[in-house]
Amino acid sequence: MNQLLKNCFINLAKTNQKALIPYVMAGDPRPDITIDVLHKLVRGGADIIELGIPFSDPMADGPVIQQAAERALQYNTNIIDVLSMVAEFRQINTRTPVVLMGYLNPVEVMGYRVFARKCREAGVNGVLLVDLPPEESADFVPAMQEQDIDIIYLIAPTTTKARIKKIIKNASGYLYYVSLKGVTGAGHLDLKAVEKKLNQIRPLTDLPLAVGFGIKDPETAVAMQKIADGVVVGSVLVNEFKKHADEPDEVAAFVQDILYAMYVAMGKYYINYDVEE
């Protein structure tokens, strides 16, 4: 397990706190503000950052994140650019874990071992590839493990116990439980159903359980942090880029504000890190 990610959850657990994990698409609405957005996420209370890799066919994502990928791709934002953004972020911040979230194709084109090495060099701590199931991970897993990059897998409401056992064999960092059936940003969140599923998963693994898809406001974040180890906030943040794509500075400030509201609502202890070192 990547030490930075491991220590993040350990330190939060010491004070009975849960990880706040915002998701943003790299390069959205413009590549030149992504670094500023990442720092504002931290100042808003982010414990871990999920950074999306733009892809032309994001099949697991709803319209909001699909359109974010399209905006980023209009600037030709690619996987090399995303890694460069992480490396630049790391020039100031070395203690907030960064997880790349995306799809297999760009990684496969680059090559697993090259990608894993570049992730380590940039300062990436974990990778979640939505469309790479455990059955097809035989070459990917050792490449990432050699570079101490955590492999994070999705678990869906329909995932069986037998399949969960197969998933956790190679999983590290944390498990990402998809709280809704469907794509990102869809549907109504059933907290009782989520809690029931998490209770089925916990006896099978020691990994922290983060929940995403459907966390849209501070109230939902508070409810979710009572039953999960981490709360992933995505579409509600990305949607602001859609509304204010021509006002990136204001969007970045909004991202900080909404995260901070969730941070405070979750009973966390806020410190404004202007500089992380």
Tokens representing 211? 């929940």
261: helix, coil or strand?
helix
Spatial CB neighbours of 65, under 8 Å, sequence gap ≥ 6: 25, 52, 58, 184, 185, 234, 235, 238
Cα separation, 252 vs 256, in Å, equals 6
Q: What are phi and psi of 166, to 5 degrees?
A: -70, -40
**Predicted pLDDT at 237:** 83
**Predicted pLDDT at 276:** 43
Residue 148's nearest CA partner among 171, 176, 114, 125 is 125
In the chain (277 residues long), the average pLDDT of successive 10-residue segments reads: 93 89 92 90 89 87 85 95 98 97 96 98 97 93 97 94 94 93 56 93 97 84 89 85 68 70 71 43
| 201 close to 164: Cβ distance less than 8 angstroms | yes
Which CATH architecture does the domain made up of 3-265 adopt?
A: Alpha-Beta Barrel (3.20)
Give the pTM.
Answer: 0.90
Burial of residue 86 (CB within 10 Å: 0-12, 13-18, 19+) is buried
Domain parsing of the chain, residue ranges: 3-265
Provide the annotated active-site residues: 50, 61
**Predicted pLDDT at 186:** 46
